[in-house]
Structure 1
Amino acid sequence: MSDAAAQSSSPRQSPTAPSARVDTDRAGYQHAPEHSIDGPDDVTIHEQDIVASAAPNAGQSQQESAAEISGDAEKLPARHSNNLQDQTNYLPVRQILIVFAAMQLAVLLSFLDQSMLSSALPTISAHFGAGRSSSWVASAYLLTTTAFQPILGRFSDIFGRKLTLQGCILVFTIGSVACGVAQTMKQLIFFRALAGVGGGGLITLVFIIVSDIVSLKDRGKYQGITEMTIILANCAGPIIGGVFAQTLSWRWIFWLTVIIAPSQCAAARRAYEVSKIFSYTDLPHVLSVGIVIVQIFLPLKAVKGSMRTKLAQIDYVGSLLTIGACTLILLPLNWGGVTFAWNSPRVLGCLIGGFVCLVVFILYEWKVPKIPVIPMYIFKIRTAASVFASTTISGGTLVAQVFYFPQFLQIVRGVSPIRSGVLFIPLLMMVTLMVFCTGQGVARTGEYKVFIVCSYAIWSIGLGLLSTLNESSSTAKLVGFLIITGFGQGQTLQSSLVAVQAAVQRADMSVATSTRNFLRAFGGTLSLAIASTIINNTLKHTLLPEGFEGSLVGKIIDSPTEIWRATTVDGQTLFALPAQQKVEIIAAYVEGFRVVFIVFASLQAFNFVITMNFMERLNLVRKDEEALKVRGT
């Protein structure tokens, strides 16, 4: 590489280089300048060599190619990423489809495992008699999913996508099988946390791998399909979970992993055989016996370097601080007002400790590690920051919908687990339709902001309408409100990922993706704790003044659906309720769910304001991508 070419890619080309100026073309799209803001002096981006070797006769200079590779948004120096190997490997469409189909099987199983719990959770609570801690069956999974997503995203940079993905699949399978044989609520919560470590990494890696093999403008289509798979699992899961809970056993939710595994392995093997016809040049060829779910054969670059070197690159302190902060913040949110008083030493101590860990994490990641779990400089990028903020909120809203709307139907309306799942079908259909249309729209027009802004506005309206539902609301009204909610929700799921990837340099793509998914999962975990706290505290504050004994309120919280039947699953009488008390309990739950929906409707309105005012329209077409496609054929 010539000195001139190297100089053109340096983040400090000259003392007078513009620091964060963004130009706007005739179409209104914004383009970042060719120079980054000040960064370390030793940064050199080498990707122009890739373009030059793939298309040596292209009509643009190496300097121009390097500028395009770095991204079309506000550019900040990828100061840590030059120590990591670029794993971009664009593929022809037919090869993408083979790899993509195999990955969707793993995504489907991971989210089915998670969403089937929503309709079966009341049954599980009654089985163990532990309704107060039942939310931790979901929260434990989401907590570890949250904490480990950025860690595993960074592991994929260090150890390679394939090895990290295989490890996640193995951990997820072991955790799920263990859940199926759990004998106590504590065991179930622990094994759900273990499964969450693998499940969270699996999802993040699928999005990262799609970004490795597909150009920026086309990612909307493929990421949209992945989101459709997730939505399908989230919406079909409650139906399947309800069937298992009502007709077989809730344990089948976890044993389903073992049943589906052979078909996934067969699909992976078939993908491998077909891929050989299409002349894959770097396919892994070993199917590990210990992995039960799937072995995905991926034509990805092997990351070079010794294991000692790779282990030395891990940010151990940052990883521990991430896990510690997430745990210490989320634990007291589940305890507060239910297990312990909000002003109790345990709750206050954990909250203070969690926020201290968070502050230490930010300062440490900003100043110390060479390869941080989350580089703080990506939060200086305006569009990326708006995506991170809005995704945290929307992730929480999505998870709260999936877990608490079926419970609303079962507790307030007395419907069966199967029926509560079936009533989710309208949401499934509308969200699936909008995800597909949005993905195609982003790919064809290069526009994502309009979809995101409209999404949050409509989603907020839909949630506001859901807050008006009660025990006497008609099914037609319920279905109509779900359709409106789904129309808004479906437009943001994949378009926000395209936005954040457009806002960063290619070297930061994986960490931006994992950070976005981390914050979405953190929002989901936070929302479960918040919604559970709102509902349980509303129940206490409403029923205790009406003369209900504290022990009776505790029984109701532990087994809420038992108000609709006289006996427990063990055939023993739980509590006999006069008709008037039953009406008061249902009214208290209606109020609790109403507050939950209003809170999340307000948060989606806040998202509308954030994205409308801070998100930019960035050009999704990068000149170097054609050369990278040529190299991948």
Structure 2
Amino acid sequence: MSKNKYVFIGLVITTLISALDTNIMQTASPTIVNQLGGLELFSWIFVIYMLVSTITVPLYGKLSDMYGRKKLLIIAVTLFTIGSILCGLANSMVMLIIFRGIQGLGAGGMIPLSMIIVGDLFTIEKRGKIQAVFSGIWALSSIIGPILGSFFVETLTWRWIFFINIPIGIASVLCLIPYKEETVYKKTHIDYKGFFLFGISITLLLLSTSLSNPTWYIISGVIALILFVLVERKEQHPFLPVSLFKNKGLLSTNLFMLVYCLSFYGTSNFIPLYLQEGSQMSIYKSGLILLSIAIGWMFGSIPAGKWIIRFGYKVLFIIGSIITTLSGLILYLFIQDIAYIGLFLILTMQGFCFGLLFALGTIASQEFAEPSIKGMSTSLQMFLRNIGTSIGVTIMGVIINYGATLAVGMKNVFFYALILSFLTIFLSFRIPERTAQLGETSITK
């Protein structure tokens, strides 16, 4: 077996523990609260993890461009594993929240760095297939995660939902050790002042999505973001390199992915709720509907690399955004009348677009970027996706809550997503057709 295959196995394992953690926690968290107490702090088990893992994504990308991907990924997995051990030993809700923060500190680098290494090791044709494998892992974890969570809680103890990460984390690190990076990384200045302001602003804005009275958090977050921009304009080596914003390919792709995640990508979170409450469907059957998105995602991401070489970026982004919009229009107009199998097919279509466009976005963030900022570019796009999804889901939750009925609220959610999806069509026309148009890395790398 070649060293690259060992590395690939390590990346798969890394993705697996990250995906499983999210799904297992949702199942086991009520039992944890019953045993540790602190119901008023319940949401912080998830909030602290989400905050830390989100704001550290760009920092991992920056550091990976300076010190290499392998070192950073091993550090990230180690932090996550240590955090898992501490979470399993926690004796109070406060301790658990603190240790979940340590877990999040590691999780912030695990997925982005895995994707960056994939971009370093594999050709464009293979990257779509590899992303399909990672998508399959997330789909599989969404099914087996709750089952494992229930098993640990009922048969052993909830602490094993964390302890199970120990052997998996060790296996991941062992697989990464043979990996020898060929790129010579250049150590540059790190703008910690910029990162601090950036982190504060994003933290405040993300907190506003989790609190009942978000006004002051939004205002403070916007002020901090303005300060960040003003300070960075005078910084010789800004935290976010200027080239990320002057590069047409990166700027247009990142903006597209941000708006795309604000729109229909988050609607799937509410489909099971709608089916359970609106159609009196069982939890099992309503949850199974999301398998359609996973299936479509795999079929969309597998051929992405080959299609980029054959058709270019722009055409694929345009087609993907138009199909998403058309499927969303059908949901908006006929959601109350669509049969289960019809809904399954429509969501499969959307999943196909998600898989295609996310694969395109990841590849574009690497191919349009200069080699010295490839890590930062990849992690920035993943950061923007996380932000877009978090804010989009929050907005949709508010829309549903203000609806006269759940059916009305869901219809309003689709209308909101539909408006933004028309914007993604417009943005797709601004994406360059090929990497070579910008005089950068050849698309036939």
Check the 8 A contact 2:209/2:394 in 1, yes or no. yes
1:378 corresponds to 2:254: no
SS in 1 for 2:190: coil
Instruction: Report what 1:200 is aligned to.
Output: 108
SS in 2 for 1:334: coil
Cα pair distance change 1:257/1:142, threshold 3 Å: same
Instruction: Report what 1:351 is aligned to.
Output: 218
Instruction: Choose the corresponding residue for 1:299, options 168, 175, 180.
Output: 180
Instruction: Report what 1:86 is aligned to.
Output: none
SS in 2 for 1:482: helix
Instruction: Report what 1:617 is aligned to.
Output: 433
Instruction: Report what 1:509 is aligned to.
Output: 374
Cα pair distance change 1:428/1:624, threshold 3 Å: closer
Aligned pairs (5 A) from 1:125-204: 138-179=46-87, 190-204=98-112
Aligned pairs (5 A) from 1:586-601: 588-601=405-418
Q: How far 1:257 sits from its partner (Å)?
A: 5.5
Structure 1 gap ranges (5+):
1-92, 272-294, 341-346, 543-587
- Read off the aligned partner of 2:143 and give its amino acid letter: I
Q: Deviations over 1:554-578 (max 9, x none)?
A: xxxxxxxxxxxxxxxxxxxxxxxxx
Q: How far 1:137 sits from its partner (Å)?
A: 5.0
Q: How far 1:625 sits from its partner (Å)?
A: 8.1
Q: Deviations over 1:246-298 (max 9, x none)?
A: 666399888455436535645765x5xxxxxxxxxxxxxxxxxxxxxxx5432
Q: How far 1:245 sits from its partner (Å)?
A: 5.8
Instruction: Report what 1:79 is aligned to.
Output: none
Aligned pairs (5 A) from 1:75-474: 94-116=2-24, 138-179=46-87, 190-214=98-122, 218-222=123-127, 224-244=128-148, 249=153, 255-256=160-161, 258-259=163-164, 261-262=166-167, 265-266=170-171, 269=174, 295-301=176-182, 313-335=189-211, 339-340=212-213, 347-370=214-237, 372-397=238-263, 400-401=266-267, 403-415=269-281, 417-442=283-308, 444-445=309-310, 447-467=312-332, 474=339
Q: Provide the C-alpha distance between the structure 1 equivalents of 2:400 and 2:36, rounded to a whole number of angstroms.
A: 21
Check the 8 A contact 1:242/1:418 in 2, yes or no. no
Q: Which segment is superposed worse, 137-146 or 102-111?
A: 137-146
Check the 8 A contact 1:145/1:200 in 2, yes or no. yes
- Read off the aligned partner of 1:534 and give its amino acid letter: I
Check the 8 A contact 2:85/2:166 in 1, yes or no. no
- Read off the aligned partner of 1:151 and give its amino acid letter: L
Instruction: Report what 1:76 is aligned to.
Output: none
Instruction: Give the greater-gyration-radius structure (CA).
Output: 1
Q: Provide the C-alpha distance between the structure 1 equivalents of 2:13 and 2:65, rounded to a whole number of angstroms.
A: 23
Q: Provide the C-alpha distance between the structure 1 equivalents of 2:89 and 2:264, rounded to a whole number of angstroms.
A: 29
Q: How far 1:488 sits from its partner (Å)?
A: 1.8
Q: How far 1:598 sits from its partner (Å)?
A: 2.8
Check the 8 A contact 2:27/2:150 in 1, yes or no. no
Q: Provide the C-alpha distance between the structure 1 equivalents of 2:94 and 2:324, rounded to a whole number of angstroms.
A: 36
Check the 8 A contact 2:313/2:432 in 1, yes or no. no
Task: Give 1 or 2: higher helix fraction.
Answer: 2
- Read off the aligned partner of 2:200 and give its amino acid letter: G
Q: Provide the C-alpha distance between the structure 2 equivalents of 1:463 and 1:299, rounded to a whole number of angstroms.
A: 45
Check the 8 A contact 1:318/1:364 in 2, yes or no. yes
Instruction: Report what 1:30 is aligned to.
Output: none
Check the 8 A contact 1:365/1:376 in 2, yes or no. no
Q: Which segment is superposed worse, 466-475 or 453-462?
A: 466-475
Cα pair distance change 1:303/1:505, threshold 3 Å: closer
SS in 2 for 1:333: coil
Check the 8 A contact 1:243/1:417 in 2, yes or no. no
Q: Provide the C-alpha distance between the structure 2 equivalents of 1:481 and 1:126, rounded to a whole number of angstroms.
A: 40
Q: Provide the C-alpha distance between the structure 1 equivalents of 2:120 and 2:247, rounded to a whole number of angstroms.
A: 22
Q: How far 1:591 sits from its partner (Å)?
A: 2.8
Q: How far 1:358 sits from its partner (Å)?
A: 0.9
Q: How far 1:320 sits from its partner (Å)?
A: 0.7
Cα pair distance change 1:184/1:240, threshold 3 Å: farther
Q: Which segment is superposed worse, 326-335 or 130-139?
A: 130-139
Cα pair distance change 1:115/1:369, threshold 3 Å: farther
Check the 8 A contact 1:455/1:488 in 2, yes or no. yes
1:603 corresponds to 2:420: yes
Identity percentage of aligned residues: 26
Instruction: Choose the corresponding residue for 1:521, options 364, 372, 386.
Output: 386
Q: Provide the C-alpha distance between the structure 2 equivalents of 1:186 and 1:263, rounded to a whole number of angstroms.
A: 26
SS in 1 for 2:181: coil
Q: Provide the C-alpha distance between the structure 2 equivalents of 1:363 and 1:219, rounded to a whole number of angstroms.
A: 37
Instruction: Report what 1:489 is aligned to.
Output: 354
Q: Provide the C-alpha distance between the structure 1 equivalents of 2:360 and 2:236, rounded to a whole number of angstroms.
A: 31
Q: How far 1:453 sits from its partner (Å)?
A: 1.6
Q: How far 1:204 sits from its partner (Å)?
A: 1.4
Q: How far 1:470 sits from its partner (Å)?
A: 6.2
Q: Deviations over 1:190-223 (max 9, x none)?
A: 5444323221211111122223334xxx23522x
Cα pair distance change 1:461/1:624, threshold 3 Å: closer
Q: How far 1:315 sits from its partner (Å)?
A: 1.6
Q: Deviations over 1:278-325 (max 9, x none)?
A: xxxxxxxxxxxxxxxxx54321159789xxxx6x83221111111101
Q: Provide the C-alpha distance between the structure 2 equivalents of 1:235 and 1:219, rounded to a whole number of angstroms.
A: 23
Q: Provide the C-alpha distance between the structure 1 equivalents of 2:80 and 2:172, rounded to a whole number of angstroms.
A: 19
Task: Let me know the Cα RMSD of the aligned residues.
Answer: 3.9
Q: Provide the C-alpha distance between the structure 1 equivalents of 2:437 and 2:92, rounded to a whole number of angstroms.
A: 54
Cα pair distance change 1:174/1:324, threshold 3 Å: same
TM-score normalised by the chain length of structure 2: 0.83
Check the 8 A contact 1:220/1:498 in 2, yes or no. no
